[in-house]
Structure 1
Amino acid sequence: MNDDLLHAYLQHHWAGSSAGTAMFERVGRTHSDPDVAARVRQLATEVNEEREQLRQIIMATGADPSRIAAATGRALEFAGRFKPNGRLVRRSPLSDLFELEALRDAVAGKRAGWQLLRTATEDDARVDALQLDELIRRADDQLARLEDLHLRVGRTVISA
């Protein structure tokens, strides 16, 4: 196994986890439906826990989580907030929907990372295969919950 490539791959996911964590936290604060916001805050807690597991995996493979990658991820999440939504001053109802779609994309990317890491490190004693199996299972559960929220909000927004 090429540790340089493994570490680079993990650092990219570290940046993504930084962006994803920030996005979950923001949507949990700003979503217009209080029930959806509460459910996203619960997901934010889970995503933060998994980010810590990623930190441990990075360190177990002999690298340190990059502060630059984390800052870049958070900066990209912040920049992503500035998108045209048809409103100049106030929040568009579509923002609630698009943000849930972005959260689904983030979890799908996280799941893909866990899945590849599981396959690529099958013979690497530094990485716990059972831990990765659990992280994949959690991502599947999160995707299902986000799908439910997405459809619920989508019905409300589109039929309004």
Structure 2
Amino acid sequence: MTGPLDRALLRTYLSDHLGGAVGGSARFGRMADAYADTPLGPALARIAREVTDEREWLRETAMRLDVQPSRVKRLGIAVAERAGRLKPNGRLTDTSPLSAVIELDLMRGAVTAKRGLWETLQVWQDDLDLDPGRLERLLAQADDQIATLTRLGRIAREQAFVRHARPGEG
């Protein structure tokens, strides 16, 4: 490393990720409920539990490092997460099979970004007095989550684009 840790930048970075963790945890919880009775459900429920645990560890770590989550960012993320549910999907009254594909793609990207947070904390673990074993486990868990979301995305893609007759079609 070329110099000391810039704690002001770290606070901003952790605050941003903490806001993302709150939104991601809410989205995974909603997805686990929405897809509970599908082949996606069990894996999404597991990831939802893991992401909630990770969010709590990040919150505790951020507080220990004197990082206060930004209320404005947290509110913005919550609004964006809810607005994401309102996106047009070509269906007015029912859920489009495309919804699962898009949600899984977005959440895989979010988990990849979260993995970057764990990598950053690993680089500075000594300065921050973080448990290296915990960070290794978080990295491995993120890798597993990415692989699972990739597999679930494949399943969703196989199902989403099959043409089904719609009411009124012959």
TM > 0.5 between the two? yes
Larger helix fraction of residues:
1
Change (3 A) 1:141 1:55: same
- Is 1:157 aligned to residue 127 of structure 2? no
Unaligned stretches of 5+ residues in structure 1: none
Aligned to 2:77: 73
TM-score, normalised to structure 2, is 0.84
Q: In structure 2, what is the Cα distance between the partners aligned to 1:159 and 1:115?
A: 39
Q: In structure 2, what is the Cα distance between the partners aligned to 1:67 and 1:129?
A: 30
Residue by residue over 1:103-135, the C-alpha shift from the partner in whole angstroms, topping out at 9 and shown as x without a partner, is 21111111111112222x144143223222211
CA contact (8 A) 1:21 1:44 kept: yes
CA contact (8 A) 2:21 2:55 kept: yes
Aligned to 2:145: 142
Q: In structure 2, what is the Cα distance between the partners aligned to 1:137 and 1:118?
A: 13
TM-score, normalised to structure 1, is 0.89
Large movers: runs of 4+ above 6 Å:
none
Secondary structure of 1:21 counterpart: helix
* Residues 56-65 or 12-21, more deviating: 56-65
CA contact (8 A) 1:18 1:71 kept: no
CA contact (8 A) 2:97 2:159 kept: no
Q: In structure 1, what is the Cα distance between the partners aligned to 2:67 and 2:120?
A: 18
Aligned to 1:31: 35
* Residues 21-30 or 61-70, more deviating: 61-70
Percentage of identical aligned residues: 36
Matches of residues 77-156 of structure 1 in structure 2 within 5 Å?
77-119=81-123, 121-156=124-159
Unaligned stretches of 5+ residues in structure 2: 164-170
